[in-house]
Copies of this chain bind each other. A is one copy, B any other.
Amino acid sequence: MMRTNDEILGQFEAALSQMQTPEEPELLYAPIIYSMAGGGKRLRPVLLLIANEAFGGNIDKAMPAALAVEVFHNFTLLHDDIMDNADVRRGKPSVFAKWGENVAILSGDAMLITAYKMLTALDAERLPRVLHIFNDMALEVCEGQQYDMDFESMTVVTVEDYIQMIERKTSALLSGSAMIGATLAGASDDDIKKLYRFATELGLAFQLQDDVLDSFGDEALGKKIGGDILEGKQTYLMVQAMNRASEVEREVLRTTHKNEALSDAEKIATIKALYEKLDVKRAAEQQIELRFERALAVLNTLSIAGERTVRLQEFARNLMGRKK
C-alpha cells in the first residue's frame, strides 16, 4: 500500500522534529529553529517524498533531501522578508522584524548552508546528481526573486517575462523537489524530465491562481483582498491589463495605488473594474486551466503504472484547492 499524502506529511513532520541544531551562538541558530517551527504547508518536501514513493523509493533514504528543500524554502522566505521589508510571516513576526536585519541575513546564510548539510546524509551514489539539481533549482529561485524585484521599477512587463519569472520564483522549487525525489528512487532521465514539466506547469497554475485570488478571492473565507493592488505589485492580472489597456487606462493602472485621494477600498475597486473591463480575470483563469490540465496530462505519460501516480494527482488537486 502506498502511503497517503497525509501520512507522508506526518512522517516528514516527525523527521523535522528530530532535526538537530546547535545551541550557540544563539542569535545564529534560534532564528532557524523559529523559522522551521513556523508551520507552512510543507508542499515541497511532501512533493519530493510523493515523487520518490511513486517510483518505488525508500522514504527514509529520501528524508534528508526532503528536509533540505524545506530548509532551503524557509531560507528564501527569511531573506525575502528583509528585501520586502515584511514584518509578518505566517501570522507571526518575521525573523527580520523580531531580531533585526543583521541576524536575518546571517542566520539565513547559516540556513542555506544547513540545507546543504542535510544533503550529505544521502547515499553517496546519488549525491552528485541530487546536488546538481539542487544547485540549479536554488539559483533559479534567486533569479526569480531578482526578476521580481526588477519588475517593481518597470512600467510594462510582458506576459512572457512574467511567466518566466514565476517559473523561477515559484515553479523551480516544486520541480526541483519532484526531480530530486524521483532521482533518489532511481527513476529514468525521461521520467525525471516529465516530472519537471508536471511540477513546472503545476507551479504556474498555482501562482496564477494566487494572483487571481488576491484580487477576486472570497473575503468570507478569511482571505484579505487587494493586497497586491495596494502594493502596486506586478501580477498576472496587472501585466495582462497593462498589455491590453489604452494609454489612459494604463495611467490609471500605474498610478491608482499611490493616489492619496482614494481610500484603499476605492483603489481596489478602481483596479478591479479595469481588470473586469479588460477581461484579464478570464484570461488568467484560462491560463490556470491550461497549465493545470497540462500538468495532469504529463502524469499519464510516465513509465510507471497509472495507480502509482494517484498521489501526485491528489497533490496537484489539493494544491489548487480542488476536489477532483
Q: Which residues of A contact B (CB under 8 A)?
A: 22, 24-25, 27-28, 79, 82-83, 101-102, 105-106, 108-110, 112-114, 116-117, 119-120, 124, 127-128, 131-132, 135, 138-139, 142-143, 145-147, 149-150
Known A-B contacts A102-B83, A127-B127, A142-B106; A135 and B112 likewise in contact (beta carbons under 8 Å)? no
Chain B min CB distance to A67 (Å):
14
Which of A117, A127, A132, A142 is the most central at the interface, judged by chain B CB atoms within 10 Å of its CB? A142
Chain B min CB distance to A301 (Å):
29
CB neighbours (8 Å) of A128 from chain B are 120, 124, 127
Other-chain residue from B27, B109, B120, B146 in contact with A27 (beta carbon distance below 8 A): B146
Q: How many identical chains are in the complex?
A: 2
Known A-B contacts A25-B143, A25-B150, A128-B127; A105 and B82 likewise in contact (beta carbons under 8 Å)? yes
Other-chain residue from B110, B112, B145 in contact with A113 (beta carbon distance below 8 A): B112
- Please measure, in the bound complex, the distance between the C-alpha atom of A109 and the C-alpha atom of B117, giving whole angstroms: 16
Chain B min CB distance to A31 (Å):
10
Chain B min CB distance to A189 (Å):
17
Give the secondary structure class of A's interface.
helix
On whether the beta carbons of B117 and A135 are closer than 8 Å, the reply is yes
CB neighbours (8 Å) of A149 from chain B are 27, 102, 106
On whether the beta carbons of B131 and A113 are closer than 8 Å, the reply is no
On whether the beta carbons of B142 and A79 are closer than 8 Å, the reply is no
Known A-B contacts A83-B105, A105-B82; A120 and B135 likewise in contact (beta carbons under 8 Å)? yes
On whether the beta carbons of A112 and B114 are closer than 8 Å, the reply is no
- Please measure, in the bound complex, the distance between the C-alpha atom of A142 and the C-alpha atom of B112, giving whole angstroms: 11
On whether the beta carbons of B110 and A139 are closer than 8 Å, the reply is yes
Chain B min CB distance to A114 (Å):
7
